[in-house]
Structure 1
Amino acid sequence: MALEDRPASSREQPLGVADVVRWSGRMLDGIGLVWLEGEVTQSSRPGSGHTYFALQDRGCVLAAVMWGRDAQRMRFKIEAGQRLRVRGRLGVYDRDGKMQLYCDFAEPAGHGAEAIALEQLKAKLAAEGMFALEKKRPLPRFPRRIGVVTSAHGAAIHDIIRTIHRRMPTAILIADAAVQGPNAPAQLVQGMAMVVRAGVDVLIIGRGGGSATDLTAFNHERVVRTISRCPVPVISAVG
């Protein structure tokens, strides 16, 4: 909508508030998609699942909202203090007559989304006491059977078997599982459940080295919670 399309007004025929607010909204909508960068100064996510936040840059603040369907696709939660690069459309919220950004995508302008998601998960689990020292179980001196959850086709399994047999001839139960990729977390969880049901004194979960992306399956919340609930000691042998 062009500026020339604004509704006519005069002292004798003034516009209503709704006319001005809605015309302003149509003007902003005509800008189309925009990319913005700024620091999150406040954020809230009520039961509706929508995320309401504010972006600040050089003394200016812009209110923003991300609807629940878009927020669910995010790998991290939008929180105060983050610097984000966001995409959305500008509009006016009729009830308040306030300009805001209707955001459908956001990414960190500094640290990557994966790194932020990992730090948020670590903080969440730490607050639940997941990493408390008293939760650690002592290792048996002479385990009768050791469970190993890893890829049966990787180099790590051969190193683990060789090390165990060099130190003490002990029965080993192996659960084959993917160690990277989208199916890896579920397979690691299933593998741990299988060896525990079969009866082991110690469980080893691991893989060989790799990039941070290759190792993400072992940071998955389901994997961490399964390890925390495991009734036998768990040794992490990642990397």
Structure 2
Amino acid sequence: MRILTVLDLNTVAKQLIAGCGDLNNVWVSGEVSNLTKHNSGHYYFTLKDPNSEVRCTFFQYARVKSNVELEENMKIIALGSMDVYLKKGSYSFNVQKVQAQGLGDLYLAYEALRKKLESEGLFDPHRKRILPRYPLRVGVVTSPTGAAIRDILNISKRRYPADILLAPALVQGEGAGQSIVKGISLLNDAMVDVIIVGRGGGSLEDLWAFNEEAVARAIYASRVPIVSAVGHETDTTISDFVADLRAPTPSAAAELVLPDREGEAKNLFHLIARARGGLGSVLEMMGQRLARTDRALSAETMMRSVHDRQMDIDGLTDSMSTLMEKRLVVERHRLESIHAVLDGLNPLNVLQRGYCMVHGQDGKLVTSVSMVSSGEDISITVKDGTIEAKIGRKE
């Protein structure tokens, strides 16, 4: 029985794929998604069609030869070969050459308009306005028969009884863009405090009115803050970029625009309670401070303070005296220890124990028989004097 390691298994798969002509130097068509442009110059992306997808690598050495710059959602045909990444046992399509097939017409129009308006400053975050905290009149541009207006009215009844002014508009299909522009203009003339522009969710085609240039410019030109409330989660419309605030749904927009009256009432009562408590605390603190000042200014209190300071000085004097005495004892012990060490190192003290020191004719201390010769005069130092001698012989 043959047992393979994981590496062996992946190696066999890699060899099989490399030897399969149908998987090498083939053209594959699909749409680019999950594009990652790495700092190394390599591109990693998914090539997909409605039924399947495959991970792709476009290494820098091949990419620099291409005159096509990959973008998200781009439709391409790619020449390459399947390969196995041994370390992870994953396979991918190694791209060698790319040809663009184009993008969807709506997406191309969307991207072109987005880049144009962004370059003109319509998306500048510094121009976005803060919504009024307590709006009295709220304008809504949406379909009069859709769920959006019903949701906004219900939330207004529950949270905050503002006046809701509806500017009926088409929100999809032919003429929807101009209808929305007209609604924004009417509500500006009606002097509302804030405007909600939106509808429920739908496909890209259904929501396209909110990607029209006329709508974007009407939002930008509005004298009143506008909340974009197109009911979609994954994509962002041009209106979302231009509006002062984006909400994921009309209901969410209503909750952002209309304060919660119960919550506001609780906050107000809480602030009043805090103000009362704070004022009472301040008055009590001032009374205590006044009483302390009055006591501190009395003659008896002043004398007690003087006596206390005198006692503090006496205590400090005693403490300093004690510390000095302790320091002197420590220093005395340290000197005695040093003296004992020096005595131990003094060579003359060694002579007291019966040892002697021998010096040759040159006055050097003799530490070996090789340093003297027979017949040489030497000096022998003992504890109480010096003996002159002559060397008879060496052993």
Q: Which has the higher strand share?
A: 1
| Equivalent in 212, 218, 233 of residue 220 of structure 1 | 212
Partner Cα distance (2:227, 2:75) in 1: 37
Q: Tell me the residue number matched to 1:149.
A: 141
- Equivalent positions of 1:138-177 (< 5 A) are 138-177=130-169
| Aligned-pair CA distance for 1:192 | 0.6
The count of corresponding residues between Structure 1 and Structure 2 is 141
Change (3 A) 1:207 1:84: closer
Q: Tell me the residue number matched to 1:23.
A: none
Partner Cα distance (2:113, 2:102) in 1: 18
| Equivalent in 88, 105, 125 of residue 113 of structure 1 | 105
Q: Tell me the residue number matched to 1:234.
A: 226
TM-score (norm: length of structure 2): 0.34
Partner Cα distance (2:202, 2:185) in 1: 25
- Equivalent positions of 1:66-85 (< 5 A) are none
Q: Deviations over 1:115-172 (max 9, x none)?
A: 0110110000000111011111100000010000000011111011112222210001
| Equivalent in 196, 204, 214 of residue 188 of structure 2 | 196
| Aligned-pair CA distance for 1:81 | 7.9
| Aligned-pair CA distance for 1:173 | 0.5
Q: Tell me the residue number matched to 1:94.
A: none
| Aligned-pair CA distance for 1:217 | 0.1
The answer to whether the 8 A contact 2:143-2:149 is kept is yes
Report % sequence identity.
Answer: 48
| Aligned-pair CA distance for 1:198 | 1.0
| Aligned-pair CA distance for 1:215 | 0.2
Partner Cα distance (2:106, 2:208) in 1: 9
- Equivalent positions of 1:37-48 (< 5 A) are none
Partner Cα distance (1:210, 1:159) in 2: 17
| Aligned-pair CA distance for 1:109 | 2.6
Q: Deviations over 1:47-68 (max 9, x none)?
A: xxxxxxxxxxxx9xxxxxxxxx
| Aligned-pair CA distance for 1:110 | 3.7
Partner Cα distance (2:75, 2:230) in 1: 32
Max Rg structure: 2
- Equivalent positions of 1:51-66 (< 5 A) are none
Partner SS, residue 194 of structure 1: helix
Q: Does 1:126 align with 2:118?
A: yes
TM-score (norm: length of structure 1): 0.55
The answer to whether the 8 A contact 2:75-2:103 is kept is no
Alpha carbon RMSD of aligned pairs, Å?
A: 2.4
| Aligned-pair CA distance for 1:195 | 1.0
| Equivalent in 190, 198, 212 of residue 206 of structure 1 | 198
Q: Tell me the amino acid that sits aligned with residue 205 of structure 2.
A: T
The answer to whether the 8 A contact 2:195-2:224 is kept is yes
Partner Cα distance (2:154, 2:101) in 1: 45
Q: Which has the higher helix share?
A: 2
| Aligned-pair CA distance for 1:182 | 1.3
Partner SS, residue 182 of structure 2: helix
Unaligned runs of 5+ in 2: 1-64, 77-99, 232-395
Q: Tell me the amino acid that sits aligned with residue 181 of structure 1.
A: G
Q: Tell me the amino acid that sits aligned with residue 171 of structure 2.
A: V
Q: Tell me the amino acid that sits aligned with residue 154 of structure 1.
A: G
Unaligned runs of 5+ in 1: 1-58, 60-79, 86-107
Partner Cα distance (1:160, 1:140) in 2: 17
Q: Tell me the amino acid that sits aligned with residue 238 of structure 1.
A: V
- Equivalent positions of 1:95-114 (< 5 A) are 109-114=101-106
Divergent runs of 4+, >6 A: 80-85
Partner SS, residue 109 of structure 1: strand
